[in-house]
Amino acid sequence: MPNPRNRKSQRGFVLILQSVMMTVTIAAAGLAVDVGTLYMIKARLSAAVDAAALAAGRSVNLAQTLSQAQTAATTTADQFFAANFPNGYLNSSFTGGSSYTPTVTLTQETDVNGNPDGILDFNVSATANAPTYFMRIFGNSSVPVTSGGTASRRGLVMMMVLDISSSMNTPTSPTACAEMISAAQNFITLFSPYDTIGLITFNLTASLTYAPSTNYGSGTLNSDIGAITCGSNTNTISALNYAYQQIKSVNLPLAENVILLFTDGSPNGILAAFPLRTSADSRYGPAQVTPTPSSGNCKDVGPTDPYLSSIGVTENEEQICPSMPAVCSSAGTVTGAIAQWGDQDSWGATTYGLAAPTDKDSVTYPTTCGSLTVNYPYGCTSCTAEGPTGTNIRQMIAYIPDTDKYGNNLHGVTATCTSGCPADVIGGLVTRDNWLYQVNNECSPDSSLSPLCKNVGDLWTNHSTTGTGSNFFTSGAYSSGCTSNGMGTNGCFRPDQPNSIVAASMNGTMSQAYTIRSDTTYHPIINVIYLTGNGTDSVDREFLPIVANYPTIPALPYDPTSYVPYTNPAYQTGQETGKYLVTADKTQLTSLFAQMASELLRLSK
């Protein structure tokens, strides 16, 4: 029988037990609420500092100096932090006030040797006090919550390569040169002072106008661009090579290494060890003596070519000089840059040189050539670059070699198309070996375009009656013995014919770009802005997309609306793809440069 005393003592036990359990239950529920709040604040804080770090990384593009960049990073981080973590979020607070400025630090990453590698880190940290609702019973009214975020910004190393050839001086008021200067000056304001920017300007000689550096906004880059004057020729190969050497010297392999090439036309400069002419042959003048003889080694044969006759060519230098005597009795070379001078036509015009390819090079003519004293061209007793008689260089050199001084193949670049290749793909190369420039006129569907029509070039075989019919010697001492070329002969590349020099220069430029893009340490990107239709050059649809390694060949402003873009026949999937922008309107240059900046900054973010 139950003891009533025991029963009495058990009265209220359940209530006591439940009270105890209730305390535990309430504490557990309270802990859940407090921890849940803590978790939400922590998650929000983490997202806010991440957003702040990303925004800080972008903001440095809006500054011109390092101090401005630091300020912009802090200000922007603060704005994005506040936007994602509003004051009083879930009743949280900050030590020292209701608003909060996160801590922002910028650090350059380094490689294992302690050298900068081109990556800039933005570290943002913030601490908020999360309120407690139940745990404050135990004396904790808030719990500090700290979160940190890091954003990495890939640095930019950019060499601007600006064409300052004479064609940039047209049209006038304002010239394309002036428009380019204005666009480039605006362009450099769009980058961060943490980026490294340098400037190569080029005509026949490429010059390091501004050595690559950071904080260029405090330097002279802007004024150096403003001081540009345009004139002379277009040695694009040397300019690209020079820019590439600068990128390597900066030595930031993890940065975005970029060459931005701006040009308005065809390259026409070649740096090579040119063989001296040891055999007499027939080639374009001028004669080695004045006045030009009416007979003999360089008689004035007159405009016998039907095409020349039709356009009234009468200049003496544009005539073939039969049996032009050699300048050397034994083999030798002379090294320097030659260029096509004047129109890129298929007849005489002029060849120009020798010139220093870059501002750090010099050119020295040999004083002897075998057993003979070098028979310098007429009037030239101490030939220097771009001297008044530089046009006579084509009597001195025998031919354009297969490779230039940088090792570039002057016959083109490897084709990657396997079927349906365009006509300029011959023997596995995309080549201009067989290309004739001043033909095949196309007129733009845009009637407002000026000039409305331009030559786009064509295969020389489709114009057999024009000029010599080839970029190679087809008769005489140099009609054999050179590498087989796109014309199916092994004649040597003519140095006396402007059209041929342009062809070799284009081939060499495509090859130089291929070499640069093959660098697996710096992974250079080549971006190109093409002001087409300027000057007297033919426009070229494929050349610059190939240089940029752009996937397709887009239309030129002169192409009909029915034009269908096709695959770049030399596109290299294993190399960096560049950006290619083209316009025939010089007033669009500011916009195109700005678009290029957006592309570069997009990739570097």
Partner 1 sequence: MSWAGCSPVRPARPILKGNAVKHPPKSRGLQHPRGERGSQVVEFALAMAFLVPLFAGAFSIGLTLAKGVQLSNVCWDSVVLMVDATTDPESGLDLSQAQNQKIIVSAANGLGLATGSNSTGNSVVYLSKVVMVGPTECSEGVSGGSAPWSASNCPNYGQYAFEYRIAFGNTSRWSSTLGAPPSADVASNGTISYANIATDTNNRATNMGSGGIITLAPSNFALIAEMYADVTSINLFSIWNTPVMYARSIS
User: Can you point out the beta strands (E) in 203-308?
Assistant: 206-213, 256-263, 269-275, 281-284
Stretch that binds partner 1, among 7-15, 250-258, 311-319, 538-546 (CB under 8 A): 7-15
Is the backbone of residue 228 left (phi > 0), alpha (psi -120 to 50) or beta?
beta
Q: Which is nearer to partner 1, 16 or 112 (CB)?
A: 16
- The tokens for 515 are 């070499």
Stretch that binds partner 1, among 96-104, 113-121, 374-382, 587-595 (CB under 8 A): 587-595
Considering only 18, 67, 279, 368, the residue that binds partner 1 (CB under 8 A) is 18
Q: How far apart are CA 361 and CA 383, in angstroms?
A: 15
Subset of residues 163 to 182 that bind partner 1, contact rule: CB under 8 A: 182
Q: How many CB atoms lie within 10 A of CB 174?
A: 13
Cβ neighbors of 519 (< 8 A, separation 6 or more) are: 244
Q: Applying CB under 8 A, does 256 fall inside the site for partner 1?
A: no
**Smallest distance from partner 1 to CB 104, Å:** 15
The answer to whether the beta carbons of residues 406 and 335 sit under 8 Å apart is: no
User: Among all chains, which residue has been given the structure tokens 């402007």?
Assistant: 498
Q: Which is nearer to partner 1, 503 or 529 (CB)?
A: 529
Q: How far apart are CA 123 and CA 447, in angstroms?
A: 54
Considering only 22, 24, 227, 453, the residue that binds partner 1 (CB under 8 A) is 22
How many residues sit close enough to partner 1 to count as binding (CB under 8 A)?
A: 51
β-strand 116-131 against 103-110: which pairing, if any? Answer: antiparallel
DSSP structure class, residue 399: -
Q: How far apart are CA 20 and CA 120, in angstroms?
A: 57
Considering only 474, 479, 567, 588, the residue that binds partner 1 (CB under 8 A) is 588
**Smallest distance from partner 1 to CB 35, Å:** 10
β-strand 435-436 against 458-459: which pairing, if any? Answer: antiparallel
Among residues 586, 375, 407, 583, the alpha carbon closest in space to that of 511 is found at: 407
**Partners of residue 313 on adjacent β-strands:** none
**Smallest distance from partner 1 to CB 65, Å:** 15
Binding mask of the shown chain, residues 186 to 205, with x at each position contacting partner 1 by CB under 8 A = x--xx---------------
Q: Applying CB under 8 A, does 15 fall inside the site for partner 1?
A: yes
**Smallest distance from partner 1 to CB 47, Å:** 5
Exposed/middle/buried for residue 526 (C-beta within 10 Å: 0-12, 13-18, 19+): buried
Q: How far apart are CA 346 and CA 437, in angstroms?
A: 8
Q: Applying CB under 8 A, does 587 fall inside the site for partner 1?
A: yes
Q: Applying CB under 8 A, does 11 fall inside the site for partner 1?
A: yes
Stretch that binds partner 1, among 114-122, 212-220, 385-393, 583-591 (CB under 8 A): 583-591
Considering only 9, 23, 24, 32, the residue that binds partner 1 (CB under 8 A) is 32
Which H or E run contains 447? none
Distance of CA 234 to CAs 104, 268, 583, Å? 47, 5, 19
Considering only 9, 20, 24, 25, the residue that binds partner 1 (CB under 8 A) is 25
User: Can you point out the beta strands (E) in 484-572?
Assistant: 525-531, 552-553, 566-567
Exposed/middle/buried for residue 566 (C-beta within 10 Å: 0-12, 13-18, 19+): middle
Considering only 34, 56, 58, 582, the residue that binds partner 1 (CB under 8 A) is 58
Q: Applying CB under 8 A, does 548 fall inside the site for partner 1?
A: no
Stretch that binds partner 1, among 33-41, 121-129, 261-269, 394-402 (CB under 8 A): 33-41
Angle of CA points 461, 467, 470, to nearest 5° = 45
Helix axes 498-517, 236-250, angle to 10 degrees: 20
Considering only 33, 119, 280, 459, the residue that binds partner 1 (CB under 8 A) is 33
Q: Applying CB under 8 A, does 145 fall inside the site for partner 1?
A: no
The answer to whether the beta carbons of residues 263 and 544 sit under 8 Å apart is: yes
Q: Applying CB under 8 A, does 585 fall inside the site for partner 1?
A: yes
Stretch that binds partner 1, among 40-48, 453-461, 506-514, 532-540 (CB under 8 A): 40-48
The answer to whether the beta carbons of residues 352 and 390 sit under 8 Å apart is: yes
Binding mask of the shown chain, residues 64 to 103, with x at each position contacting partner 1 by CB under 8 A = --------x--xx--xx-xxx-------------------
Q: How far apart are CA 262 and CA 163, in angstroms?
A: 6
- The tokens for 228 are 């540009």
Stretch that binds partner 1, among 51-59, 332-340, 369-377, 473-481 (CB under 8 A): 51-59
Stretch that binds partner 1, among 24-32, 352-360, 445-453, 486-494 (CB under 8 A): 24-32
Residue type, 541: R
**Smallest distance from partner 1 to CB 186, Å:** 6
Return the SS3 of 459. strand
**Smallest distance from partner 1 to CB 152, Å:** 13
**Smallest distance from partner 1 to CB 442, Å:** 23
Subset of residues 414 to 473 that bind partner 1, contact rule: CB under 8 A: none
Considering only 37, 209, 238, 408, the residue that binds partner 1 (CB under 8 A) is 37
Q: Which is nearer to partner 1, 84 or 340 (CB)?
A: 84
**Smallest distance from partner 1 to CB 59, Å:** 6
The answer to whether the beta carbons of residues 420 and 553 sit under 8 Å apart is: no
Query: Residue numbers of the site for partner 1 (CB under 8 A)?
Result: 4, 7, 11, 14-15, 18, 22, 25-26, 29, 32-33, 36-37, 39-40, 43-44, 47, 50-51, 54-55, 58-59, 62, 72, 75-76, 79-80, 82-84, 182, 186, 189-190, 585, 587-588, 590-591, 593-595, 597-598, 602-603, 605
